[in-house]
Amino acid sequence: MRKFPAFLALWFAFLGGCASLEVPPDGTYPFRAAFTGSATVQGRDLSFDGALAVVSPEQGFAQVYGPGGLAAYSVGITEGEVTIHDMWGRAVRQYSVPLDQLLGLVAGEPPDMRYLWRRSLDGRTSVTYTWGTLVVDGNLLPHELHVKGDPPLDVRFVKGDNTITLLMNRGSDRVRLVLDVIRGGRWIQYSP
């Protein structure tokens, strides 16, 4: 019975994590990119283009352009809360993302939070958090993201010369987003 408090303290220390992935944030923000994309959402196929600005790991803004280059939709993300507005500024949808530092990953920066454990995986590193798993390369750039949920979110990051392609799956919804880096981020610092 005396061992139970020691076990409980050890368990809470384990859940609190012991380390975090840290990268120097110099020049990462603001991260700006133009994008083109295609998606299958609720059985409908869509194509779109737009621009993205990420000012911190938790905050960013995007515009999706319609015919003639007008902003058809704007998307604001702050600490995992996503709000989509139509071209007249009316909120048309709101939802939460289980990872509040998702935008940092888009800029190439891993979450600045404690992880549970990490292990080598085919020349990369798999890092397990309470919310899911992140796979990073030797420069700590994101390669894969798996977020628990119903349905789970899976993202694959494919780095090109000046582009990052995000392949996202959530349930039956699929999104392919090609980002042309304009400024900032950690992606351009490292060759493909």
Q: How confident is the model at residue 8 (pLDDT cuts 50, 70, 90)?
A: very low
Total number of domains in the chain: 1
User: In the predicted model, is pLDDT for residue 2 greater than 70?
Assistant: no
End-to-end CA distance of the chain: 55
In a domain, 190, yes or no: no
In a domain, 70, yes or no: yes
In a domain, 2, yes or no: no
- Compute the residue count for the chain: 192
In a domain, 191, yes or no: no
Q: How confident is the model at residue 175 (pLDDT cuts 50, 70, 90)?
A: very high
In a domain, 143, yes or no: yes
In a domain, 149, yes or no: yes
Q: Give tens-digit pLDDT for 127-149.
A: 999 999 999 999 999 999 999 98
Q: Which CATH number covers residue 90?
A: 2.50.20.10
CB proximity list for 60: less than 8 A, separation 6 or greater: 31, 52, 53, 54, 76, 77, 103, 106
Name the residue range of residue 82's domain: 29-181
In a domain, 43, yes or no: yes
User: In the predicted model, is pLDDT for residue 119 greater than 70?
Assistant: yes
In a domain, 62, yes or no: yes
The 3 state secondary structure assigned to 51-111 is EEEEEECCEEEEEEECHHHCEEEEEEEECCEEEEEECCCCEEEEEECCCCCHHHHHCCCCC
C-alpha to C-alpha distance for 108 and 89, rounded to whole angstroms: 30
* pLDDT for the residue numbered 9: 45
* pLDDT for the residue numbered 25: 66
